[in-house]
Amino acid sequence: MNQNETSNKKPDQKTAGATNGPAGSSNETDGHGHHHIVPDGVALKVFGGLICLTVTTVVTSHLDLGVLNFPLAMFIATIKALLVVMFFMALKYDTKENTVIFASAFVFVAIFFGLVAPDIFFRGDVYVKKGQALIREVSGAGSTIPKGWISTPELVAKGKTIYATQCSTCHGVEGKGDGAAAAALNPKPRNFTQDAGWKVGRKPSQVYATLKTGIPGSAAMPVFGSLSQADRWALVHFVRSLAAGAPEDTNEDLAKIGIDPANEVAEKVAPSISVEMAMERMTEAPAKLVAMSGSNLEEGTSAGAKLYRSSCFSCHGQQGSGGIRVKNLGVKPASWVVTRALNETDAMASQDKFNKAVILGVPGSLMPGMAQFSATDLRDIYQFLKTGK
């Protein structure tokens, strides 16, 4: 059945193997077997090729070819893989059937990748659309409330919850100015239960102004420009509820913060960063945060500058100069990311890239996605970062 079986001694066997053509040395008789004996010479050549390619890929990986490094490395690896499969595994001399079988594995891996990758990498549009829907929602009903300057029990209750997460670290649970972080602060946080010491004032419009723009000349109280309008009013009424006898607003007071009581039109909604995020930064290092909070900022007063100050300043520093340590919450032990100067990042290359980075956030970095900006807002912030105006 097998012609080789008679000569079991090596010499002629070997030469037979080495000299026969590619498919030649198969010792099949009935067309079923595909015994390909790889000649030593071929094996050595292929091996030499593999080593050369390995050296090439190591050397080229040290060159800076930009985006080409990766495809090149994969190209070389694939040639190596083909050499191994074709010659070492002799698929070249094997049946078509086996080739198809083996190749099918890669087809399925490609399908797997092909289904997952678009979902991960090209969902951006979906988020942008969602973001726009969100903008509409936010600037519509959700967080603006009619006549927010008038206290209601609901607003006070809502204010209480926000106060617990946002303010009690400094102002204390009962509003006595004795929160955990108060010790490190100078001046001390306001005691809401007494009448003395108010700089801006206790009227609703004044507390509102404090939250929105900070206390002029004082850096200790962070600016909460990022809260939604409704949240801000809720806090105002809660803070005022802590002590009786707080003065009420006159129409002129309300006019000062841009509200016409006769007309229900409320001021434009300010963008907001997520509560948890602001919170985490606060509890992490209140003193530092206070030092950075925007109220002592001399920068421009353009729309872009204001938005930047309320939403981005805390992580990106003075006009995007970076160097701020942002804590990462997800890993143990704690680690920080120091922000780079924004103008050095890729995202600043164009308005589009910038919009995408802000709306979607930067996955894996601590840059949060903030969907609440309108196209004009984004243009203003971008403009401010680029030109300082």
Partner 1 sequence: MANQPVTSAGHHHAHHFKSADHEFSAAKQGMWVFLVTEVLMIGGLFVAYAIFRGLYPDMFSAAHKFLNVKLGLTNTIILLTSSLTMLMGVSSAQRGDQKRSLKFLAVTFLCAIGFLVVKYIEYSHKFHDGLLPGANFTNTDPLLMHPKTPLFFSLYFMMTGIHAFHVIVGMGLIAWIMKRTAKGEFSPGYYTPVELVGFYWHFVDLVWIYLFPLLYLVG
**In the stretch 55-94, what mask flags binding to partner 1 with x, by CB under 8 A?**
--xx--x-------xx--xx-xx--xx--xx--xx----x
Residue 121: which of partner 1, ligand HEC, none does it interact with, CB under 5 to 8 A by kind?
A: partner 1
Residue selected from 145, 213, 381, 384 as contacting ligand HEC according to rule CB under 6 A? 381
Angle at the Cα of 333 (from 329 to 339), degrees rounded to 5? 50
Strand residue runs (E) in the chain: 325-328, 335-338
**In the bound complex, what is the minimum distance in angstroms from residue 109's beta carbon to ligand HEC?**
30
**Of residues 101 and 126, the one with the C-beta less far from partner 1:** 101
| Alpha-carbon gap, residue 389 to 78, rounded angstroms | 52
- Interatomic CA distance for residues 304 and 283, integer angstroms: 28
Please tell me the distance from the alpha carbon of residue 178 to that of residue 194, in angstroms, as a whole number: 13
Give every CB contact of residue 61 below 8 A, 6+ residues apart in sequence.
69, 73
Using CA atoms, how far apart are residues 310 and 295, in angstroms rounded to an integer? 10
Near ligand HEC in 323-342, by CB under 6 A: 326, 337, 339-340, 342
Sites for ligand HEC among residues 201-260 (CB under 6 A): 201, 207, 210-211, 215, 218, 220-222, 224, 235, 239
Task: Kindly state the tokens that stand for 190.
Answer: 């306001």
Residue whose structure tokens are 């997800």: 330
319 binds ligand HEC (CB under 6 A): no
CA distance 77 to 71: 10
288 binds ligand HEC (CB under 6 A): no
Decide: 174 and 242 in contact? Cβ < 8 Å: yes
The interface with ligand HEC within residues 352-371 (CB under 6 A) comprises 354, 357-358, 362, 365-368, 370
Q: Are 36 and 94 in contact (CB under 8 A)?
A: yes
Does position 180 interact with partner 1 (CB under 8 A)? The reply is: no
Site for partner 1 contains 193 (CB under 8 A): no
Q: Does 34 bind partner 1 (CB under 8 A)?
A: yes
Residues that bind ligand HEC (CB under 6 A): 163, 166-167, 169-171, 181, 185, 187, 189-190, 198-201, 207, 210-211, 215, 218, 220-222, 224, 235, 239, 273, 277, 282, 286, 290, 311-312, 314-316, 322, 326, 337, 339-340, 342, 345-348, 354, 357-358, 362, 365-368, 370, 381
